Structure 1
Amino acid sequence: MTTTPAPPARRLPSPWWWTAAAVLLGVHVLAWRGTDFSLTALIQGRHGMATFISDAFPLDLDWAEVLGPSLEAAAVTLYIGLLGTTLSIPSALVLAVLAARSSGYGAASYQAARSVLSFLRAVPDVVFALIFVTAVGLGPFAGVLALIAHNTGVMGKLWAEAMEESDPGPREALRVLGASRLRTVLHAVLPTVLPQFVGLLLYRFDVNVRSSLVLGLIGAGGIGFLINQSIKLFRFDEMATHILVVLVLVIAVDQLSALVRRRIAA
């Protein structure tokens, strides 16, 4: 007669897990109070939201006054996101090479490049836009400069991490043959990570188009500027039209990015 083995005893969570859960709960309580989060206030404000939505419909689709300028401003928003992405490629690539251990440029350049990338990522693009507005004035140019600065930090870090995760075989082979650091990067590292680079670049383009909308709210041009104007003038029907144009723009950019990524992966 065989006896079935007893099921293993369940192990209770370690005290560390209980401590982490308690700390996480405490932080959420502090966040709830610090942000004045209140479902009651949201429910009490439903009448104001209902009035806001009712004023936004029907949409104002007047071509000369609303829809035409909205489409032109959406094109400017797209241009800001495009230039902010593509013009940051050289600086992001140089900093990524220096900030990747696989490039072999030494600890000093690694730390310096990482520090620069951390600074550019830490400063939001909105803050950069406010700084550049004081330098070049209101308009899309300030938005482009802001995106170049911030996107260099974000994309440089993403590219550096992709380079560090690349296959070490090709670069080690070139180093054994006596190739310089630059040749190793150009002929061994970059070719192996090029698809990842393009995918990350398209992702950042998608994000930057959305960011350029927010930059327009502070005077950096584009359709965000029109949305801000409509809100200030209480023309919520115009605002809803602008938001609809933004929705179409974002969907089109997203579909285009997805199509290119699929072609690259194929």
Structure 2
Amino acid sequence: MTTTLEKPARLPVPPRPRRPRAQAAGWIIAAVVVAAHVVAWNSTGMSFTALVEGRDGMADFLAEAFPPDLSWDVLQPSLSAALVTLWIGLLGTTLSVPASLLLGLLAARTTAPAPWVYQATRSLLSFLRAVPDVVFALIFVTAVGLGPFPGVLALLLHNIGVMGKLWAEAIEDADPGPSQVLRSAGASRAQIAAHALLPTVTPQLTGLLMYRLDVNVRSSLVLGLVGAGGIGFLINQSIKLFQFDEMLTHILVVLVLVVVVDRISAAVRRRLS
């Protein structure tokens, strides 16, 4: 005697209960976002009509820029200034490592010696991040004069604020197991940081450092526009003299520099991952 199993009847899925408060909050948030975009659009003078009307000016600009001036008299100083831009970004990144590491340890909840130290360090890092590197460059240009040196100092201070925060967050997310083992064995804070914490997060810290090097090389280009040396200074000079073909040459050199630095940084981050 065989028996057939009957398929269980499908029960109706109960409707999802509606939450009037959640729906109302969603509509309010959407309305605020739309209103903010409308205000931003009007405040910034966004107008695609003006962009279309200015097409003749853009066409004249491009006609004067092409073809780029690739003569050695223009290319040689452009390559030299590009190397200066690279050195500014390199020094602004590497020289900030000791201070960034120290402040990162003090700004992490897991390694800060006291709550007030944590809050004070976080406030200092926030201040260094809040001041743009261009503002730092203008301050140092007035102090030490034109050239790459104020650019290095500007990137140094701003990068300490950015990298200190990134490293502090990486330290907070580290595996607490090795640190707890050393702490239970009576190790000091410095010993825990040196022998348990930092070896655990070194790949993350190095990856963030390479990312900041990539960013700082790009930023050093902008610093040159305010007199902090590098190829940005040549671009600004070419624009002021209406030598747009030379400007395009400098921009192409910058493009090559940025691509090379980006490839090297990406390769290092892949090996660390």
Distance 1:255 1:45 in 2: 37
Q: Which amino acid aligns with 1:121?
A: R
Contact 1:103 1:184 in 2 (8 A): no
Q: Which amino acid aligns with 2:41?
A: W
1:35 and 2:44 are equivalent in the alignment: yes
Q: Which amino acid aligns with 1:216?
A: G
Shift of 1:6: 3.1
Distance 1:25 1:243 in 2: 37
1:52 and 2:52 are equivalent in the alignment: no
1:9 and 2:15 are equivalent in the alignment: yes
**2:210 counterpart residue number:** 202
Task: State how 1:220-231 maps to structure 2 within 5 Å.
Answer: 220-231=228-239
Distance 2:197 2:59 in 1: 56
| CA offset digits 1:219-246 (Å, max 9, x no partner) | 0000000000000011110000000000
| CA offset digits 1:119-149 (Å, max 9, x no partner) | 0000000000001111110110000000000
| Percent pairwise identity | 66
TM-score normalised according to structure 1 size:
0.96
**2:247 counterpart residue number:** 239
Higher Cα Rg: structure 1 or 2? 2
Shift of 1:173: 1.1
Q: How many equivalent residue pairs?
A: 264
Contact 1:60 1:241 in 2 (8 A): yes
Distance 1:226 1:8 in 2: 69
Greater CA drift, 30-39 or 8-17: 8-17
**1:144 counterpart residue number:** 152
| CA offset digits 1:179-215 (Å, max 9, x no partner) | 1111111111111100000000000000000000000
Shift of 1:113: 0.8
Task: State how 1:71-86 maps to structure 2 within 5 Å.
Answer: 71-86=79-94
Contact 1:88 1:149 in 2 (8 A): yes
3-state DSSP of counterpart to 2:110:
helix
| Gap regions ≥5 residues in structure 1 | none
Shift of 1:10: 5.4
Contact 1:74 1:223 in 2 (8 A): yes
Change (3 A) 1:71 1:16: same
3-state DSSP of counterpart to 1:102:
coil
Shift of 1:104: 4.1
Q: Which amino acid aligns with 1:188?
A: A
Give the superposed CA RMSD: 1.3
TM-score normalised according to structure 2 size:
0.94
Contact 1:87 1:148 in 2 (8 A): yes
